[in-house]
A = this chain, B = another copy of it.
C-alpha cells in the first residue's frame, strides 16, 4: 500500500511513472528529504521535520520549502490512507530538471507501510557495527560544501554502510569520526544511557539533529531522566547501561550487540524509555 501526494495538492498513482529522467534528484542526488512517522492518524514531530527540511534545503541552496503546503501534502496522504495503522511518510524535494536554471523543484509526499524488518528491529533490537566515516569533528563547520548534517538525497554512502553491516553479520551501523568519537547511524541518532542519564553527540560535529532523539529526550526528562548532549567514544558505547538508535520510523531501537560483543541487557530500560517516548504523544 502506498499513497502519493504532490506538493501542489494532487494525489497520484504511486506505481505510475511521474519523474523525468533529467530530474536532478535522480541524476545528481541533488535534493533533500524527511521521513515522518504517522501514528494514530497524527504525524509525529511534523514541525521539527519541516524545520529540518528547511535547514537541509538551505544548506543545498534550494528555495525555502513552503511549510504550509508540505503540511497539507502530509495530511492528504494521511486522509487517503486506508485503515489506521502506522505510516511512514517520505517528503522528497529536488532541484527539479537538469539544464533549466528556473526549473521548479520536484516535491512530493509518499506514504509507505512500515517495513516488517522495522517492526522486528523495534521489538528485538539490532546488532550494529562501528564504521569509520573518515571525517574529523571540525569538518562540518570548516567545509559546509560537504553538506554534513544535511538530509540530502545523496545517501549512497549511508546505504553502502548498511550493506557493509550486513556483510559483518549486523543490521545497523554507528559511524565514527577520525578521532574515534561517535557520530550517528546512517539513518538514526545514537543515544547512550548510563544510569539515569541519556547522552547523544552534539550536532555540530556534522551529524543530523535527531527529531526522534529530541522527542525521546523530552519524554525521558519528564520521566525523571537527565538528558545530555556530549561527545562519546566507542568505549563509552560498550560500557553504558543501554545503547539505542533513534529514528522516526524505528522509534527507539535497542542495540543489543556492538561489533560482535553482546551489550548488557537493556530490555527493561528500553521498555521504560519507549513508554516515556510514547507518552509524549498521549
Chain A residues engaging chain B, CB cutoff 8 angstroms: 2, 4, 14-31, 33, 59-61, 90, 92, 94, 99, 108, 110, 112, 115, 131-136, 139, 142-147, 150, 152-161, 163-164, 178
Query: Are A157 and B131 touching (Cβ within 8 A)?
Result: no
A-B contact pairs, 23 of them (CB 8 A): A14-B20, A14-B21, A18-B19, A27-B155, A28-B158, A28-B159, A29-B29, A30-B159, A31-B156, A60-B160, A61-B160, A99-B115, A131-B145, A132-B139, A133-B146, A134-B135, A136-B178, A145-B161, A146-B160, A147-B156, A153-B156, A154-B156, A154-B157
CA distance A22 to B88 in the complex (A): 13
| Closest-CB distance, A161 to chain B (whole angstroms) | 5
Q: Classify the secondary structure of A's interface with B.
A: mixed
Contact pick for A160, options B16, B25, B145, CB 8 Å: B145
- Residues of B within 8 Å of A33, CB to CB, are 27
B residues near A150, Cβ cutoff 8 Å: 156
Whether the Cβ atoms of A142 and B135 lie closer than 8 Å is: no
Output the least CB separation between A157 and chain B (Å): 6
Closest 7 pairs between A and B when the two form their complex, measured CB to CB: A29-B29, A154-B156, A154-B154, A19-B19, A29-B154, A145-B164, A28-B155
The chain B residue sitting closest to A24, CB to CB, is: B159
Known interface pairs A17-B17, A29-B153, A147-B157; 15 further A-B residue pairs with C-beta atoms within 8 A, sorted by A's residue number:
A18-B19, A19-B23, A19-B26, A21-B92, A21-B110, A28-B29, A28-B156, A99-B115, A131-B145, A134-B135, A144-B164, A146-B157, A147-B160, A150-B156, A154-B156
